[in-house]
Chains A and B, each alone.
Chain A
C-alpha cells in the first residue's frame, strides 16, 4: 500500500531550491498557479520507500512577513497546506542570512528539515560548519548537500521518511524575545487562547505576529 505524504520546499532565492526540487522530482513536475493569484506554483512527486511523496515548491523568500505576496503564499502553505514535512534549503556559504527563514519556520512549529546546500562552495571558502551542532541547536535534522551535483538527495529523502515515521523528531527552538516582549506575548496569548483562529495557528505565534503588526493576521482577527 502506498502512503501519501506532502512536503513543502522553502528557501531563500539563490539557495539552489529549484535544483533540489528537480533532484527530488525529476520529470514528474506540474506547473500551475497558487489559488487566486498569478504566482507560479510548481508541484512534483516521487516515490521512495513505499511512500508517494508530493513536493510543493514554495516561492523563494527571505522572511515570512505579510509584506510581499510571495511570503504570504509561503507561510499560508506551511500552515493551511498542512505539509507533513517542510524542507528549508539553506545556502551553506551564506548561513547567517539563510537561517533567518529557518528560525521563522521553527517558530511556526513546522516539521522542519534543513537541507544544507552548496556545501562545496562553503568548503572552497574554507568555512568549517559543525553540522551536528547546528542540528542540535536548531532542534531539527540537518542534511548536508551539493544539489548541483545531486549529492545528498537520498539522505534528504531518508530524513523525511524518518520524520514521517516518527523515528526522528523536530524538537525545535524556544525563541526568547526578551523580558518585556515576552510579557506582552503572554498577555496576548491568554486573550487569543479561546479565539477561533487558535485552531489553525498557535496562540503564541499569533501573539508574535500581532506585535509585529502583521497586516494579514490583524485582518483575520478583525474579521472574527
Chain B
C-alpha cells in the first residue's frame, strides 16, 4: 500500500467522521478515553460527600487573591534577598579573609612572577568569585524551596493575566523565575511552552533575568557603594531584569513574531512541604554549576587575564574599547576589560577586577578599592550593574539560544539587542542621574 493512499484514506475518514459527528476524530478519541476513565473512577473511587477543605485551598485563597497576589509575590522575593544578604555577610567576610591570608602566604613564593600569578591572578580572581558562594547558595536554597513547595506555580498564576496582556503565557513567567538560577537551565525549560512563537520570544528575553552568576557583581558593588540599602539595590536589579523582559517580550511579540498566543490551563499543584533532601539536591544542582565554573572557565580566564595584564596587552585592549562606555560613566579600561571577559561567564567581571586590583585591597575590600582607583560614584556603580545585567548573555547561554531556536539569526539578534539595550540603559541612568546628583 502506497503511503500516499494511506494518508488519502485517513483524510477521507476524518472528513467522514467530521460530517457524522461534527467533531474532529481527535476529540472523539479523547472523549472516549475520558469516558473510559470516568466510568472506571465511578467503580474504584469513593470521595467524601463534602470535599474536605484542603490546606492548599485555604492558602491559595490568599496567595491567588486578585489584588494581593502580586504584592505578596514581591514581598516574598524582597524578603528572600534581604535574608540572603544579611545571613551571608559574615560568611562572605570570612571567605575573603581566608583568601587574603592565602594570598599573603603566596607572596613569599619566588620567582616574583609566579607569586604574582598565584596571589594576584588565581587567588585574587577566583577568590573574588568564590567569596559569593554563601549568598548564591542561600538564594538557590530559597529558589528551590519556592519551586518544591509549589509557590513558583502560584507566582506564575498571578502573573498569568499580565503575561496574557503582553501576548505571552504564565508559563513564560516560570521560565523567567528559573532564570534567576541560570539562563541555560531556564531556556531548556521553555520546552514546556507548546506555542512556538511564545517559546521563541521567551527564549529571547530570558537572558535578561538576573542569573546567579551576576549576583557576585551586584553583591560586590552594593556592599561598597550602597552599604545601607544592599538588599534593596540588588532587588532593584532583579526587578529591572523582569520589567525589561516583559517590555521587550511585548515589543517582540507585537513587531517580530506576531500571531495567536497559546492558551493553556495553568497547573496549580498542591502545596507540599519541601523535603530537605529535595531542596538540597536542587540547590546542589544549581550551585554545583557555579562551583565547577569557578574551577574551570573562571580559573582559565583569570589566568589568561593575568598574563595579558603582566605583559601590558590587557590595558591596550581595554583602552581601545573604553571610550565606548564613557557616556555611561564607566569609561575606564579596567571596566571595559571586565565587560569583554564577562561574556565568557558573567562572574569573570568580578574575577577580572579581583586580578587587576589584587594586592591593592585595603581594609575596605575589593568594591571600595575599585571605587577609589576608578573614581566611581554610586551612580556609576549602579549604571555598571545595569550594564552587566542587560548586556550580551554569557557564551553558554548564547549556545543554548542557538540550539533551542536552531537559528544563528536569532542568536545574533540576541547579542545585538542586549548590547544596545544594556548600553542605552546604563547611559540613560548615568546621564539622567548626573542631572540630579
Contacts and interface: CB of A to CB of B under 8 A. Distances in A.
A137 interface: yes
Nearest to A18: B278
10 contacts: A125-B52, A137-B40, A180-B17, A180-B20, A184-B16, A194-B1, A195-B1, A208-B29, A211-B26, A221-B6
B157 to A, nearest CB: 14
Nearest to B277: A22
Interface string B67-86: 00000000000000000000
B267 A129 contact: no
Contacts of A19: 275, 278
Interface stretch (A1-9, A67-75, A160-168): A67-75
B320 interface: no
A187 B6 CA distance: 10
Contacts of B9: 187-188, 191
A180 B209 CA distance: 52
Contacts of A180: 16-17, 20-21, 28
Given A67-B194, A212-B26, A224 B40 contact: no
B33 A100 contact: yes
A20 to B, nearest CB: 13
Nearest to A173: B36
Interface string B266-278: 0101100001011
Interface in B275-333: 275, 277-278, 281
A68 B194 contact: yes
B404 A127 contact: no
Given A176-B32, A188-B9, A188-B13, 12 more contacts: A96-B38, A130-B45, A177-B32, A178-B28, A180-B21, A181-B25, A187-B9, A211-B26, A211-B29, A213-B25, A213-B26, A218-B7
A134 B44 contact: yes
B377 to A, nearest CB: 43
Interface in B361-380: none
Contact of B3 (A22, A127, A224): A224
Interface in A121-144: 121, 124-131, 133-134, 137-138
Contact of B36 (A18, A103, A211, A221): A103
Interface in B19-48: 20-21, 24-26, 28-29, 32-34, 36-38, 40-41, 43-48
A10 to B, nearest CB: 16
Interface string A25-50: 00000000000001110000000000
A70 B43 contact: no
Nearest to B28: A181
Interface residues of A, number: 57
Contacts of A103: 33, 36-37
Interface residues of B, number: 50
A137 B277 CA distance: 36
Contacts of B61: none
A195 B6 contact: yes
B403 interface: yes
Contacts of B29: 177, 181, 208, 211-212
Contacts of A224: 3
Interface of A is mostly: helix
Given A13-B267, A96-B38, A137 B6 contact: no
A100 B37 contact: yes
A191 to B, nearest CB: 5
B32 A175 contact: yes
A8 to B, nearest CB: 19
Given A38-B403, A39-B188, A181-B17, A221 B7 contact: yes
Interface in A86-142: 93, 95-96, 99-100, 103-104, 121, 124-131, 133-134, 137-138
A199 interface: no
A67 B30 CA distance: 14
B150 to A, nearest CB: 8
Interface string A42-61: 00000000000000000000
Contact of A38 (B37, B41, B404): B404
